[in-house]
Amino acid sequence: MIKKAALFCMLFLGLLSFLSLKAQSVPQKKIDSLTTLIKKENSDTNQVKALLELADVYRNSKIDTSGVLAKKANLLAKNLNYKKGLARSIHLMGYIDYAKGDFTPAREKYNQALLIYQELHDDSGIAQMIYNLGILFAYTGVNDKALENFLKALKIYESTKNNKGISECYTVMALIYERQGNSDKAILYHNKALDLALKLNDKYNISVCYINIGNIYGHQKKFDTSLVFYFKGLKIAEELQNKKWMLSATGNIGEIYTQQGKYKEALNYLQKALDISEESGDKQAIIETLNCMAKVHFDLKDYKKAKDLNEQALIMGKTIGSKYDIKRSYEALASLNAEMGNFEEAYTYHKLYANIKDTILNTENSKQIAEMGTKYETEKKDTEIKLLNKDKEIQAANFQKQQIITWLIAFGLLIVLLLALFIFRQYREKQKANVALEIAYHQIEEKNKDITDSINYARRIQTAILPEIENIKKQFPDIFIFYQPKDIVSGDFYWFTEKNGICILAVADCTGHGVPGAFMSMIGNDMLTQIVIEKGITQPNVILTHLHEGVKYALKQDVELNETRDGMDIVLVKYYFEDGKYLLEYSGALRPLWLISKNQNELTEYKPDKHSIGGADSNDQRQFTNHTIVLEKGDTFYLSTDGYADQFGGEFGKKMMTKNMKDLLFSIQSLTMDQQKDELKKALSKWKKDRQQVDDILVIGIRV
């Protein structure tokens, strides 16, 4: 029964992730200006616009204030017979009902606003109302109607080239497909939404996409990666003070911690989610959070508390008529009562759960969803085929006209005819060749675009997984990171964590660069997280030993006849303060550590072990040396891959070499770390001139 109960809250990852109307960040000066204009109490359309604009500002932060302003705008618009203002005010009042979980009045208002927008031929308003009605259908479990509305809205947004609207439709369609278990479609539409959001620099939708991508990883039980995206989404939501997405991110983070068995952290974030949902009056969110908190107490075997929370959620679910929430509450109460030995109650709740589940998830619904998706794609292709056929008709008509002219000329002048036939034949051959070349060119261009888009998406994932520079600077304020991939994605990466005053920092150079190197960097990043954060190993040489074994296992290099040579070179340090001393422990696989004392007397090189992580002949039991170094304040140490020193350039097109790089670092010691980074960039540019970069480049310098 416990295993079954563990599925309750996972739906939290999807149901709170629907888009809604969103308020833009507005300066206080603008808010003050609108407030002053409203106080003048002019009965004109400008007064209606000011009321609506201020209500729009307060939608996600002061929802009751927003409601009062929207109602004032509605009354004034009616008196003025100002239909656009009337539609917008009803639209906004419907959103406020929706945000509070009052779906029936929200649906009525959205339909009223839709009729007025249709009367005004306002495509933007029509699409938004159809979209919002789709959101309501989705929340109440009517998935076929929800997707039908989203497809209608998408067509309007595409015809009007409204990229924001297109992005929002992609997102909610992805979530519907995700709910139905169609992960391929879900991922397709999430990626489309993120691409558009990044192109538009739309922080709101970037935050939404991060959280939704986190959901996908959450469903796949890749919890650490999921948390990376949730925290990124939460950070942007907090910057925008968007309570709805702060709620979604905190709730989802709480759920991931629940799945990981980190119950204290889970309850902490779920309580934050409950506070936000109660503050905003969002009944749907309150239900989701109560169910998730009940799941935590269930796992802690506090069945009484879990039952109380599930019963509260059931009552509220019945109040708003949400079939999905009622279903989850019945399932939870069935499991809880069985666990408590109340088998009669458990059987009753199980029957109720089975009945409502059949209503929601019947085969016909899933079939209709698939058919509508196919219908949309088919209609789009039919339109394209019609355009192509039209072009062919025009070409045929032009050809026929040219033949008539040719025969008229031929009738008068035989010599001209012969010449014309020869020229025409040559022209046709050339046209055929040009058409063939153009088709091939477009095919290659499409292939290249698909590949580039995929690699760009991989870069976003790789960048998201790299540690935040702000977190590193909290421990090392005087630092520079010079990171310059050769291609879109990189085989070089850096990794950092800090706990209880102990900092672990690594710089790694994986086999190859570009996409192959990026795959290896993802493996290395994930393994360092397992070794240091999950297993708690902090001694550098032991970390490298475990990393070597992990790479061998991941790439099956410990299997006979496996000839894979992939691996990585790495420099890894442990930094901490103990007994009044700054201590640095270092271990390296083919990558050294360079130290320059504060007196700038000399550059000391700590030699690495002469074998890599993984790679050829990796069946040996490799050991790595641990060096302990006592630092003084003002000392500077450097971690680097070989990309900088291996760059070709100079007068004779040779490599820069490690010696020249060390001389350069020694010569710029009097500069700040930021200035050192600038000097490294200038020196590299001057060295390579117009030559291409030959490898990924990563250099990190830290002054104690």
Whole-number average pLDDT of the chain? 83
What is the pTM (predicted TM-score) of this model?
0.42
Q: How far apart are CA 648 and CA 334, in angstroms?
A: 69
Beta strand segments in 485-609, E: 492-499, 502-510, 567-578, 581-589, 593-596, 603-606
Please check whether residue 252 is in contact with residue 272, taking contact to mean a CB–CB distance below 8 angstroms: no
More confident residue, 33 or 11: 33
Q: Hey, what are 214's tokens?
A: 């986190």
Of 136-150, 550-564, 658-672, where does the model show the most confidence?
658-672
Q: What percent of the chain has pLDDT over 70?
A: 83
Cα atoms in the 13 Å half-sphere on the side-chain side of 653: 3
> What residues does each domain of the chain span?
27-121, 466-703
Q: How far apart are CA 330 and CA 350, in angstroms?
A: 7
Q: Crossing angle, helix 83-99 and helix 63-80, to 10 degrees?
A: 160
Cα atoms in the 13 Å half-sphere on the side-chain side of 518: 21
Give the pLDDT of residue 6: 30
pLDDT (mean) for 232-239: 91
Give the pLDDT of residue 236: 92
Q: What is the residue whose two structure tokens read 């930021």?
A: 674
End-to-end CA distance of the chain: 55
Q: What is the residue whose two structure tokens read 């040396």?
A: 625
Cβ neighbours, 10 Å, residue 373? 17
Give the pLDDT of residue 114: 94
> Minimal CA–CA distance to 229: which of 541, 480, 77, 13?
13
**Please, which residues have CB within 8 angstroms of residue 150's CB and are 6 or more apart in sequence?**
131, 134, 169, 172, 173, 176
Give the pLDDT of residue 4: 29
- What dotted CATH number matches 27-121? 1.25.40.10
Q: Hey, what are 238's tokens?
A: 């907090």
Using alpha carbons only, give the angle 586, 588, 589 rounded to the nearest 5 degrees. 170
Please check whether residue 238 is in contact with residue 201, taking contact to mean a CB–CB distance below 8 angstroms: no
Q: How far apart are CA 261 and CA 263, in angstroms?
A: 5
Using alpha carbons only, give the angle 300, 280, 321 rounded to the nearest 5 degrees. 75
pLDDT digits (tens, 9 = 90+) for 365-397: 554 555 455 445 545 554 554 555 555 566 666
Please list, residue by residue across 654-686, b when 16 or more beta carbons sit within 10 angstroms of its beta carbon and e when fewer do: eebebeebbebbeebeeeebeebbeebeebbee
> Minimal CA–CA distance to 114: which of 175, 161, 156, 170?
156
Residue 436 pLDDT class (50, 70, 90 cuts): low
In terms of DSSP bridges, do strands 603-606 and 593-596 run parallel, antiparallel, or are they unpaired? antiparallel
Q: How far apart are CA 17 and CA 33, in angstroms?
A: 34
Residue 645 pLDDT class (50, 70, 90 cuts): very high
Q: What is the residue whose two structure tokens read 């409601």?
A: 67
Q: Crossing angle, helix 283-299 and helix 323-340, to 10 degrees?
A: 20
Q: Is residue 1's pLDDT more than 50?
A: no
Q: Is residue 451's pLDDT more than 50?
A: yes
Q: Is residue 18's pLDDT more than 50?
A: no
More confident residue, 697 or 194: 697
Q: How far apart are CA 236 and CA 320, in angstroms?
A: 30
Q: How far apart are CA 666 and CA 675, in angstroms?
A: 13
pLDDT (mean) for 21-48: 66
Q: Is residue 701's pLDDT more than 90?
A: yes
3-state per-residue secondary structure call for 160-188: CCCHHHHHHHHHHHHHHHHHCCCHHHHHH
pLDDT (mean) for 278-291: 86
Long-range contacts of 113-119 (CB under 8 A, 24+ apart): 113/87, 113/88, 116/83, 116/86, 116/87, 116/90, 117/87, 119/83
pLDDT digits (tens, 9 = 90+) for 301-317: 888 898 899 999 899 88
Q: What is the residue whose two structure tokens read 């992939």?
A: 566
**CATH tag for 466-703 (out of 3.90.960.10, 3.40.50.300, 3.30.2020.30, 3.60.40.10):** 3.60.40.10
Q: How far apart are CA 248 and CA 256, in angstroms?
A: 12
Q: Is residue 185's pLDDT more than 50?
A: yes
Give the pLDDT of residue 29: 66
Residue 51 pLDDT class (50, 70, 90 cuts): confident
**Please, which residues have CB within 8 angstroms of residue 432's CB and are 6 or more apart in sequence?**
none
